[in-house]
Each structure stands twice: as structure tokens, then as C-alpha cells.
Chains A and B, each alone.
Chain A
Amino acid sequence: MASQVKTKTTTFLTWLVRCTLWATESRETGSEALEPERDLDFLGELDPDDPKQASQQIANKLRAAILTRKLAPGDRLPSQPELSVRYGVARETVKRALELLRAERLIVTRQGSGAFVRAQIQRPVELRPHIEAAFERPHVSIDFAGFSGETLRDALAEVLDKVRVGRLTPETIVVRVMLSDMTVPMALPARAETQADDPVVRARADRITRRAAEGIVDQVRELGELGLVRSVDVTVRVHSAAPLFKLYVLNNEEVFFGFYRAVERTVTISGEPVAIYDLLGKDVPLFHYAVSDDDTATGTQFVEASRAWFDSLWNSIAREYKS
């Protein structure tokens, strides 16, 4: 039993170490001629009827390949000439597509060696492209557990705009948001001086939480009310445990996980300066796990465990959120 646990720990640590290395640093590339032949059929072809620009279409296909791990972290992307031949477009168009992915921090480029899939989704976390990719499916599900859902609200706002204009056309959307209940005593956030719960400090956190949660509910429900999506189900629940990490589960097959840090800052509450231990969530690195064909892979297991954890809290101590 002990050895089994140790093996798993070791695997996880190895994985963490691997993920913290940049793809370009952990991989030496030889000349292109030495690369084995790769089956690139998954890259597909451009759709002449698609109103999107060719560069945008190429970026979408490459993004999908990266997010579904057909191009794995550390993999070299097909070269610019290869891509321009495959899609029948100018090199400039391919360049623009790669530029989009670079801006999303999905790939890194190295002078003379080409572009590589980034090994770790490092900060600033770009959740939005992943949520957008999730919305390309007919049945979308998003589970979030954490402090306020501000990041999710902001990412959803942009993606839902695309649903409104018909560029994304999911049939059903299920969103579950599970937050810490800031109306009951919490270990975090806290008043710094006393290291203890403080209703004044929590009331501030509650306002932030409410604004974000209600933003998520309103914008998702609106899609259903407008008849743009056949079925919409968005639920918020709260529990009494302090928020220490955040977790997103997208379509039950991708997880983003990040630790909140406790940071001290002085904020003004009702005109009074108050030093608090607050949660820092915006700039922390998010770790990305995805389901693969391999049942024993860390990604597959982490997604499975995350779903089980979420469901267990959702169906036990999480209670209805009163807005």
C-alpha cells in the first residue's frame, strides 16, 4: 500500500517538474529531416464557406489539436511552409495564425527551430480559448469551484458573445458554480492583525462573490431566454469551507487547477483602511490536465478525481445559494 502511494506521488512530482519546464528547454530539436513522418490528417482543410479569415480558421484547427493533445506539450508544430502547402495559403497567413496562438500562450517559437506546444499553461492564464473550444461541442458543461468566479465570468462574457452572434452554436449548456459562503465565518479572507475571521472583511468578499456569481447566472440564462441555446441550466451552490484552490472542469474532460495564495494587502472598507489576508487568484499559474486515451495517464486520472471531488461536495455540504 505504502509503495503504491509512493509510486503515485513520484509520478505526480515527475509530472509537475516536467510541466514547469518550458517545452523549448526540455527538448532539443534535430534537423527536420530526422523527424519521423507524422500523420497530420487531424489538421483538416479550410472550409471555403466559412466567413472567418483563413488565419483564424488555421488557428482554430491548431488550437483544437493542441487542446485535444493531438499535438502534445513539447511537440513541434508543422513548419510554416508545410502549413502553407497543406492549407493552400500564403506564408503570411500561416504566420498570422501562429501569432494568434502565441498571443494565447499556447505555443512558443524558437528562432530557427520552429514553433512548439507550450509545456505548461503558465500565467497569465488564458482560460478563455479553452472555454471557447469547449463551446464548439453541442453539449457544454462547465463546473467551477473556488472563491468568486470572477475569472470565469469574464472569460464567459467573451465566449457567450460569440454564441449571440451565431459563431458558436452549442445545443445545451450546464454550468455548476460552487463557492465558499461568505455569510458564515471563514479562515480566509481574514483580518491580518488578528489572523481571524471578521464579518467586515467577509462582507467585502461577499460583495465580490455575489457580483461574479450573478454575472455568470445572468449571462448564461439570457442565452436560453433568447432561444439561442435549446437548454440552459446554471446553478450556484455554496459551502462553508474556505477557498484554498480553484478548479474548472470543462466538458468533463479538461481540468484547470490553481492554488490561491494568501496575501496581505490594505483595502478600504467603508472609508476605513483594513489590512487583510486576501486570496490571490488572478496571477497564479493554472495547471492543465486533460483526458487522454491512456487510463493510467496523470491527466486522465486527475480529471477523473476532480470530477469525483466536485460531485462529492456538490451533493453533500454544498447548499443552495440565496441571491
Chain B
Amino acid sequence: MTLDDEGRLAELLAGTGPLLLDFDGPVCSIFAGYPAAEVAAELRERLKRNGIRVVGSVVTEPDPLEVLRWTGRHGDPDVVRAVEDALCAAELEAARLAESTPYAREVIVAARDAGKPVAIISNNSAGAIVKYLNLHRLAVHVQTVVGRAYARPELMKPHPDPIRRAVAALGAEPGDCALIGDSLADITAAQAAKAKVIGYANKPAKAERFAAAQADAVVTSMSEIAICLTRFPRQSRT
């Protein structure tokens, strides 16, 4: 991280209030212990049992969220609900085995200490997120959790809907919020909602793509954000 990057990040965090975190990536790796590809295969099984012919790229799709998205485009509401339920159940199981992202905890706690409300905004289900936060004693630091809209995969990021819901729940203005995300969908969603966005490039190739997508700042480790936040004056806790 160059001095210039550091300055840009500090300026962005100083100029915004609430911190919105994407879940899978910035907070944890949700499918670390229950591989995503396994979940995706189970969802395909569910589709077949519901009489849906699984064809095209979805046959080898490793991301269960993409299988859900595909179902939304090709299945009727009953099938979407069946796949949604199966995914929610799998995510709950996965949350137990999820692997914490290095320095995610530090970011959440430092943000709270700096007086910034913290919200989690995710395409994963809220139940799984809350379970993870409780397991890791983090729920106390998080003000709002916005998960995937039930059986409405078309509202997942890059749709701005989750960000708008979080902003409304916090009683904030979109422009006062900064989202930390590790995908282009996060950046697109934030920009559509007129929120600021920090790209978390957890793979080297992502940094350039996030910069090209005009993320307001790009980091390669959550520790950069944590260190920046610890320099803010501590707000009194209540």
C-alpha cells in the first residue's frame, strides 16, 4: 500500500460514517469447511428432484449463489423457494465451519470504537450470518445484518437493494456509508446505491479490476483498514 493509497483510505473513512461489510470475503470464508461446490451440487440435485432440466453452464457452476440465481431465471416460484430453503440450510451448516478472515474482527471492533455503526450486507442468508456472529461473539458490535431477500435472487448484489435496506435500517444517507466488498458485484451495487466502496482485493488479480471499476479505495489486507481505524479518536462506549 503506497502512501497515496493510505491517504485515500484514511480520507474515505474519515469522510464517511457507517461501515458496511460484505460477509463472504471481508468477514469470513463461509464455505471454508463445507465447500461451495458441494453445496452447488446439492442444489442441482434439488432442481432435478423438482423436475428441472439442468443444462448449460450451471451444470458445472461451483458457486451455489449462482445456481440460485439461475433458478430464479428458469424456475417457477415453488422451485425457487425449494432451492432457497436448501441453500439456507446449507449456509447455516457452513457458518459453523466458516473460517475468519484475518483482521476482520479487528476492523469490526475498531470501527465500533471509532463511533462507526457496523452493518453486514450479504448475498448469503441472514440466519447464517447471525449464527456466525454469535459463534464468534461479534454480534454485540454489529448494528444491522441484511441478508439475501428470501426467494428473490434477482435482488442480490449487484442489485443495490441490500445496500439500500441497510442504509435505511441505519437511518443514514447512502453517501455517508462505506462498503467493503471483495467482488465486482459489491462495487457495482455500492455505486448504484450511491454509497462509497472499498475494494478488498484478497486475490492479487482483483486489485487492478477494482481500480478499473473505480472503487474509491483498494486494500489487499483488512489490516490496512483496521490500522487506519485505530488512529481515529475513540468514542466513549456506552
Contact = CB atoms under 8 A, between A and B. Distances in A.
A34 B229 CA distance: 59
A264 B227 CA distance: 16
A30 interface: no
A192 B103 contact: no
B109 interface: yes
Interface in A142-193: 192-193
B229 A266 contact: yes
B113 A266 contact: yes
Contacts of A193: 100, 105, 136
B35 to A, nearest CB: 23
A266 B100 contact: no
Interface in B41-59: none
Contact of A266 (B109, B136, B237): B109
A268 B109 CA distance: 12
A273 B237 contact: no
Contacts of A275: 105-106, 109-110
A272 B136 CA distance: 20
A89 interface: no
Given A192-B137, A266-B106, A273 B227 contact: yes
Given A273-B226, A273-B227, A265 B100 contact: no
Residue from B100, B141, B223 whose CB has the most chain A CB atoms within 10 Å: B223
B16 interface: no
A275 B109 CA distance: 7
A264 B226 CA distance: 14
Given A264-B141, A268-B227, A273-B227, A192 B105 contact: yes
Interface in A247-279: 263-268, 271-275
B113 A273 contact: no
B109 A192 contact: yes
A267 B231 CA distance: 10
A272 B230 CA distance: 11
A264 B223 CA distance: 17
A266 B100 CA distance: 16
A267 B230 contact: yes
B45 to A, nearest CB: 36
A273 B110 contact: yes
A273 B103 contact: yes
A275 B103 CA distance: 8
Contacts of A272: 223
Contacts of B223: 272-273
Contacts of A266: 105-107, 109-110, 113, 226, 229-230
Nearest to A283: B236
A195 B113 CA distance: 19
B175 to A, nearest CB: 26
A268 B87 CA distance: 39
Contacts of B137: 192, 195, 264
A271 B231 CA distance: 12
A273 B223 CA distance: 6
B230 A273 contact: yes
A265 B237 CA distance: 11
A193 B227 CA distance: 17
A271 B109 CA distance: 17
A268 B231 CA distance: 10
Interface in B116-143: 136-137, 141
A54 B147 CA distance: 67
Nearest to B229: A266
A108 to B, nearest CB: 22
A266 B113 CA distance: 8
A271 B100 CA distance: 20
Contacts of B141: 264
A192 B103 CA distance: 11
A264 B109 contact: yes
Nearest to B114: A266
Nearest to B231: A268
B75 to A, nearest CB: 40
Closest 4 CB pairs of A and B: A273-B226, A266-B110, A273-B106, A275-B105
26 contacts: A192-B109, A192-B137, A193-B100, A193-B105, A263-B237, A264-B109, A264-B137, A264-B141, A265-B109, A265-B113, A266-B106, A266-B107, A266-B109, A266-B110, A266-B113, A266-B226, A266-B229, A266-B230, A267-B230, A268-B227, A272-B223, A273-B103, A273-B106, A273-B223, A273-B230, A275-B109
Interface of B: 100, 103, 105-107, 109-110, 113, 136-137, 141, 223, 226-227, 229-230, 237
